[in-house]
Structure 1
Amino acid sequence: MQLIVHPYTLPMANPFRIAHGSRTEQPTLIVELSTVSMTTRISGYGEAPMTSYYGLDSAECTRVLTDLAPAFAQKKDLPESMESFLEEVAPDLHPFLRCALDVALEDLRARVQGVPLRHLWRGKTSMDSPDRYGEAKLRQTPTCYTIGLAPVEEMVRKLKAFPWPIYKIKLGAGDDDLAIIRALRKHTEAPFYVDANTGWTAEQTIALSHELKALGVVFIEQPLKTDDLTGQKEVFQHSALPIIADESCQTEVDVDRCARYFHGINIKVVKCGGLTPARRMIARAREQGLKVMAGCMTESSVGISGIAQLLPELDYADMDGAMLITNDPARGVTFDPVTGYAIYPDRPGIGVELIA
C-alpha cells in the first residue's frame, strides 16, 4: 500500500464561534491509501481536521504520517484492521490520525470489492442490486445545520440565509441564550438541537430546559463541564429535555459511564479513532438504551462522507461540516435541503473523489 498525505486549508464561509473560541479557517489533512488491484490503482480516503484546541499541527502530523509510509509500503495485502496494524507500528498515534487511516482503509476495502461501504457492512457484494443496495429500506436520519455563536442579529441572518429542516444552535457563552432561541424561533418552525458546549451550570440547564422545550428544542448537548458529575446527575434526573453527551463521550470506555448521566451520546469519529470503534460505540450504546448521534468537526466532503456511512445506525446526525467551508477539495455525500437526508454518490466506498 502507498500512503499519501494531502494538506489543505479550508476557509469558513462565516466566522465559526463556539464556547471554546472562534475561527475563520480550518487546516486539515486528507490521507490517501492506495493499492493495485488487477493492474488498476485504487485509492481510499480519510480525513483528520487539524483542530487547534486538540493540539494538532499540520506540519507535525504530516511528518508523523509520512514516517509511517514505509510500514504501509511493506504491506502487500490490506490489513485485517487498521487497529491491529497500528498496534504494531504506531500504538500511540493520535486518535484524529488513527481515524483518517481507519476510514481510508475501510474506503479502500469497499472500493476494491466495488460496493458502497455502508452496504459492505450489511453483506452486499454488488453495485448492481435492483433495489439500489436496499437504500430505501435504510433508516433515514437527517442532518442538522449549525448556527454558530454570534450576536443574535447575525445568527438570525445566518438562519434566514440557509433554510434547513433542522438546526443545531450553539449557545453557552453568555446570559442571553434563551433570548437567542426566542429570536431564532420567530423565523422558522424547524426543530432545534441546542449545544451549550459545557457553558452552563446544572441550575441553568434545568431551568432553561423547560423554556427550551416549549420553544421546539429536541435535546440539549453537553451543557456542563465534563468533571461536574454531581451537577450532571441532577440535570439527568430533572431536565425537561434529553441530554446528549459530547465532550463527556470521547471513546469506547466512556459509553457505559455516560449511560448513568445522559440520555444519549454524540460520537465524533475523529475523537474515537475511526469508523471501526465508532460502530462498536453505537452497538454498546444501544445495549445501554442510549440514543445515538454522530457529529463532525469542520471537515471537507472526505470526512463527512466517511461519517455518513453511519447514518442508517443513528437517531440524530450533525454532518454539516462541508457546508460551512468555501473550497471543498472533494465531491462526495451531500444532503437534501428539504429533508436533510443524505444523497449518496453512485460510487463505491465512501463515495468521494478529490477535485483539488
Structure 2
Amino acid sequence: MKLQLKSYDLKLKNTFTISRKSIDSQPSLVVALTADGFSGYGEATSNPYYNASIPDLMTEIEKVRLLVEQTYGIPPEAFWDTLAPHLAHNKFALCALDNAYNDWYARSKNLKLYELWQYNISTIPLTNYTIGIDTIENMVAKLKAKPWPIYKIKLGTADDIAIVTELRKHTNAIFRVDANCAWTAEQTITNATTLKKLGVEFIEQPLAAADWEGQRDVFKKSILPIIADESCITEDDVAKCHGHFHGINIKLMKCGGVTPARRMLTQAKQLGLKTMVGCMTESTVGISVIAQLLPELDYVDMDGALLLSEDIASGVTIMNGKIEYASGNGTGVSLCEGLGEG
C-alpha cells in the first residue's frame, strides 16, 4: 500500500467566528492510501484547541508509514487496532488514516462505504448550515444569503438572545445553538426558556467541557435538550455523558476516525442518547466520510465544505440541507488534483 500526504490551506468565503477564535482559512492535510488500483482518502485539519497542527500531523503519520504500507487487506477495524497504539496521542492523524483506509477498503470491495456497513439510506437527516458569530446585522445578512431549513447559530457573546431574536424575524427555519463552552449553568437554564420560544431545537455544549457538576444541573433543569461536543471526545466519554446530556455530537477527528465513531454511536443508542456527527471546517474529503454515517444519526452538522470559497474535492453534494451521495464507491471522493490513483 502506498501512502501519500498533501497539505492545503482552505480559504473561507467569510471570516468564521466561534466563542474562542476567528479564522479566514483552514490548514488541512489529506491522506491518500493506494493499493490494487484503488485509492482511499482521509482528511484532518489543524486545530489549536486540540493541539493539532499540520506539521505535527505529518510527522506523526510519517512515523507509522512503514506500518501503514505493510498493513493492508485486513478489515478496517483490524487496521485501526493496529495503528491505535502508535497514534493514541494524536487522534487527528489516526482519523485521517482510518478514514482513508475505510474508503480504500470499500472501493476494493466495489461497494460504497455505507453499503459495506449494510446501512439503509432510505431515511437520513438534513444537515444544518452554520452562522458564525458576527455583528447581528452581518449574521442576518449571512442567513438571508443562504436560505436553509436548519441553521446552527454560534453563540457566546453578550448579545446571544438578541442575536437569535433578530434572526428569528427573518426565517421560519429550525434553529440549533452552539455556545462552545461559553455559558454558565445558570445562563444556560435561563437562556433555554427564551430560546425554546424562539424555535430552538437544542443547545450544544453550553458549559466548559469539564464542568460535569454544572452540566448535571443543566440536564435536570433545562427546558431544551443539551448535546455534548467538547465533553464527548473519545469512546470513554460516551458513558460519562449519560445523565448529563441528552445526546452527543461526535467529531471524527477528535475520536480517531470513523471506526471508533461507529462504536460510539452504538454505545450512545444503547444508553438512550441522541446521536449526532459534526464536522470541522473541512473539505468534501472529510464531509463525504460523515455522509456514510447518516442512517445512524438523529442530527448532522456537515456543512464545512459549504463554508469554503473553493473546494479541493468532489464527492457528496448538499442542496438545501439534503445530502446526495456521489456515484463512486467508497466515500465517492475524487480530488481536484492528482493525489492517489484510481
**Equivalent position of 2:140 in the other structure:** 156
2:306 paired with 1:309: no
2:64 counterpart SS class: helix
2:206 paired with 1:223: yes
**Equivalent position of 2:4 in the other structure:** 4
User: What is the Cα deviation at residue 139 of structure 1?
Assistant: 2.1
For 1:161-240, what aligned pairs fall within 5 Å after superposition? Answer: 161-172=145-156, 174-240=157-223
User: What is the Cα deviation at residue 51 of structure 1?
Assistant: 1.6
Q: Which amino acid aligns with 1:231?
A: G
Indicate conservation of the 8 Å contact 2:9/2:26, yes or no. yes
User: What is the Cα deviation at residue 79 of structure 1?
Assistant: 5.6
**Equivalent position of 1:323 in the other structure:** 306
2:334 paired with 1:353: yes
Question: Equivalents in 2 of 1:286, 1:341: separation in Å?
Answer: 24
Question: Equivalents in 2 of 1:312, 1:76: separation in Å?
Answer: 27
Question: Equivalents in 1 of 2:190, 2:87: separation in Å?
Answer: 45
User: What is the Cα deviation at residue 59 of structure 1?
Assistant: 2.2
2:46 paired with 1:72: no
Question: Equivalents in 2 of 1:120, 1:61: separation in Å?
Answer: 28
User: What is the Cα deviation at residue 93 of structure 1?
Assistant: 4.7
1:73 counterpart SS class: helix
2:39 paired with 1:55: no
Distance 1:243 1:76, change over 3 A: closer
What's the CA shift string for 1:86-120, capped at 9, x where partnerless? Answer: 146x2445101111111111100110111110011
Question: Equivalents in 2 of 1:311, 1:92: separation in Å?
Answer: 26
Distance 1:75 1:272, change over 3 A: closer
Question: Equivalents in 1 of 2:300, 2:224: separation in Å?
Answer: 17
Question: Equivalents in 2 of 1:234, 1:75: separation in Å?
Answer: 47
Indicate conservation of the 8 Å contact 1:4/1:66, yes or no. no
User: What is the Cα deviation at residue 308 of structure 1?
Assistant: 1.0
Q: Which amino acid aligns with 1:22?
A: S
Question: Equivalents in 2 of 1:283, 1:311: separation in Å?
Answer: 13
Instruction: Work out the number of aligned pairs and report it.
Output: 336
1:108 counterpart SS class: helix
Distance 1:262 1:46, change over 3 A: same
Question: Equivalents in 1 of 2:75, 2:2: separation in Å?
Answer: 13
Question: Equivalents in 2 of 1:5, 1:251: separation in Å?
Answer: 25
Distance 1:99 1:145, change over 3 A: same
Question: Equivalents in 2 of 1:287, 1:260: separation in Å?
Answer: 13
Indicate conservation of the 8 Å contact 2:7/2:54, yes or no. yes
What's the CA shift string for 1:168-216, capped at 9, x where partnerless? Answer: 00001x2210000011001100000000111111111111111100110
User: Unaligned stretches of 5+ in structure 1?
Assistant: 124-133
User: What is the Cα deviation at residue 295 of structure 1?
Assistant: 0.1
User: What is the Cα deviation at residue 151 of structure 1?
Assistant: 0.8
Question: Equivalents in 2 of 1:278, 1:58: separation in Å?
Answer: 22
User: What is the Cα deviation at residue 85 of structure 1?
Assistant: 1.8
Match of 2:322 among 337, 341, 345: 341
Distance 1:29 1:286, change over 3 A: same
Query: How big is the alpha-carbon RMSD for the aligned residues of Structure 1 and Structure 2?
Result: 1.4
Indicate conservation of the 8 Å contact 2:87/2:94, yes or no. no
2:92 paired with 1:96: yes
Question: Equivalents in 1 of 2:83, 2:4: separation in Å?
Answer: 16
Question: Equivalents in 1 of 2:130, 2:84: separation in Å?
Answer: 36
**Equivalent position of 2:116 in the other structure:** 120
2:127 paired with 1:143: yes
User: What is the Cα deviation at residue 84 of structure 1?
Assistant: 1.9
TM-score normalised according to structure 2 size: 0.95
Indicate conservation of the 8 Å contact 1:79/1:85, yes or no. no
Question: Equivalents in 2 of 1:78, 1:13: separation in Å?
Answer: 40
Indicate conservation of the 8 Å contact 2:60/2:87, yes or no. no
Moved more, 70-79 or 253-262: 70-79
User: Unaligned stretches of 5+ in structure 2?
Assistant: 338-342
2:26 paired with 1:43: no
1:146 counterpart SS class: strand
1:232 counterpart SS class: helix
